[in-house]
Amino acid sequence: MPILSNHIQFPSIGYGTYNMPDRETALAVKNALLAGYRLIDGAAFYGNEKGVGEGIRESGIPREEILVTSKVWNRDRGYEKTLSAFQKTLSDLGLDYLDLYLIHWPANTKKYGASAIHENQETWRALEELYEKGLIRAIGVSNFLPHHIEEIGETAKILPMVDQLEIHPGWLQKEAVDYCQSHGILVEAWAPLGRMTMVGDETLISISRAHGKTPAQVSLRWEIQHGILPIPKSSHVERMKQNLSVFDFELSEEEMKALDNLPPMGGRCFDIDEMDL
């Protein structure tokens, strides 16, 4: 299991709640927890944090056994806005603390010009303060490339413990992953199945047949063997369980390389510095 730089242990796989209607979220989160997930990944932007909190309570699983993540959205960047957004997230979730809080997207120079670096640094300063007060057990970033991390590091007292990136076969983002792992930053993968649009790839299908697994399971195993924590999402209980069943087989070096070398497909494959967020 991954261990963060501040020695908190995380599970090897998490459960994502993106694009899930609030009215369905409570049942999905409850079912995921009962299926065995212990890391629930959410965000203010998803608009379903009340449902996430409800699902946690309905599961009957003790709060201390569950790791809950949220993210501060782009309109709430900056020191004061981030502090306020965090309190709303806690209120919506009905929780006293978070296990992980992330900056959802970096401010980039395309939209913010010369103020982008300061915007990210001030947002990070708020996360540090919340962490030091004990309201968050770990802090990190999402969609940050190495240069974004270097920039907040210029004023940071604490370096990010996590960077959540889009990663799936065909989109490893190797430079960012290598940077994070060499600096003790755990990499999490959003859209680890490429939003399911890549599971028809012949290479992936061939490898999955060789192991008696699904293409989705092979994708998740590929990420885990790269030292990455995937965060798949499904509202179907059987698929939730399938996504957890990835620890009874291992991909060979040749299979890993074949998946590493797939061309970009599925998912979003964003150029973060060109986004208008």
User: Residue 28's domain is classified under what CATH number?
Assistant: 3.20.20.100
Are 100 and 140 contacting, i.e. CB atoms less than 8 angstroms apart?
A: yes
- Active-site residue, from 15, 18, 37, 46: 46
More confident residue, 1 or 244: 244
- Per-residue pLDDT band at 23 (split at 50, 70, 90): confident
Tell me the H-state helices in 133-236.
Answer: 146-153, 174-182, 202-211, 215-225
Q: Which helix (H) or strand (E) holds 128?
A: helix 116-132
Whether 56 is covered by a domain: the verdict is yes
Q: Could you confirm whether 46 is annotated as catalytic?
A: yes
pLDDT at 97 over 90: yes
Which amino acid makes up residue 37?
Y
Number of domains the chain contains:
1
Tell me: pLDDT of 187 over 90. Answer: yes
Report residue 266's pLDDT band, with 50, 70 and 90 as the boundaries.
confident
How far is C-alpha 70 from the chain's CA centre? Answer: 9
State yes or no: pLDDT of 196 exceeds 90.
Answer: no
Pairwise CA distance, residues 186 & 193, whole Å: 19
- Structure token digits, residue 214: 């699904």
- Residue 203 covered by a domain: no
Mean pLDDT of 6-20: 97
**Could you tell me if residue 19 is inside a domain?**
yes
User: 268 in a domain, yes or no?
Assistant: no
Give the Cα separation of 151 and 157 in Å (integer).
13
- Domain that includes residue 68, residue range: 15-195+228-245
The whole-angstrom separation of Cα 57 and Cα 30 is 8
Is residue 202 situated within a structural domain? no
Point out which residues pair with 103 in neighbouring strands. Answer: 72, 141
The predicted pLDDT at position 127 comes to 98
- Residue 220 in tokens: 């998740």
Is pLDDT of 195 > 80? no
Which region holds residue 84: left if phi is over 0, alpha if psi is between -120 and 50, else beta? alpha
Residue at 33 is within a domain:
yes
Position 217 pLDDT exceeds 90: yes
**23 falls within a domain:** yes
Residue 277 lies in a domain: no
Average per-residue pLDDT for the chain? 96
